[in-house]
């Protein structure tokens, strides 16, 4: 069983409420099963790093392209590299969202799964602390 499958089961278990027979109230199953501190899987780290890397590559390529056009037009003295980089930055954001959509969606899903596991772990720790103190 992969780590992603384990996180999915933990997240599903944490969301399903159960009835506490002694009190007759709904209690999350995070109280019944200990949840380990969530970690990003290797796939998640790879997807997030690739998305960031491809966005940087796109920015650099756009900067190079824009400034090359400026130089070819003979406007390099009026249009410095910093202005080319700013224009490339403005163009790279929407382009990266369109060009790298699948990678962005995968990275976002990994982060949201990790966040759900983190929240479930935090809730479990809070409940354990309340039980010990209360």
Concatenating the DSSP letter of every residue in 55-96 gives HHHHHHHHHHHHHHHHHHTT-TTTS-HHHHHHHHHHHHHHHH
Please give the Cα distance from 65 to 82 (Å, whole number): 13
Q: What is the pLDDT of residues 86-134, one digit of tens each?
A: 999 999 999 999 999 999 999 999 999 999 989 999 999 999 999 999 7
Domain ranges of the chain: 3-133
pLDDT at 33: 60
Concatenating the DSSP letter of every residue in 6-49 gives HHHHHHHHHHSEEE-TTT-SEEEGGGTS--PPP---HHHHHHHH
Q: What is the pLDDT of residues 14-27, one digit of tens each?
A: 444 444 444 444 44
Q: What is the pLDDT of residues 54-81, one digit of tens each?
A: 999 999 999 999 999 999 999 988 889 9
């Amino acid at each position: 069983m992969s780590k992603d499958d384990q996180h999915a089961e933990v997240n599903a278990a944490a969301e399903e409420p159960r009835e506490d027979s002694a009190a007759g109230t709904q209690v999350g199953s995070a109280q019944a099963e200990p949840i380990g501190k969530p970690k990003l899987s290797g796939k998640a780290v790879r997807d997030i790093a690739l998305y960031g890397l491809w966005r940087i590559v796109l920015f650099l390529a756009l900067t190079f392209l824009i400034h090359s056009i400026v130089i070819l037009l003979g406007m390099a003295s009026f249009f410095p590299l910093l202005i080319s980089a700013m224009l490339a930055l403005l163009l790279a954001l929407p382009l990266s969202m369109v060009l790298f959509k699948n990678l962005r969606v995968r990275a976002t899903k990994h982060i949201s799964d990790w966040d759900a596991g983190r929240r479930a772990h935090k809730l479990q720790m809070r409940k354990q602390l309340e039980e010990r103190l209360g």
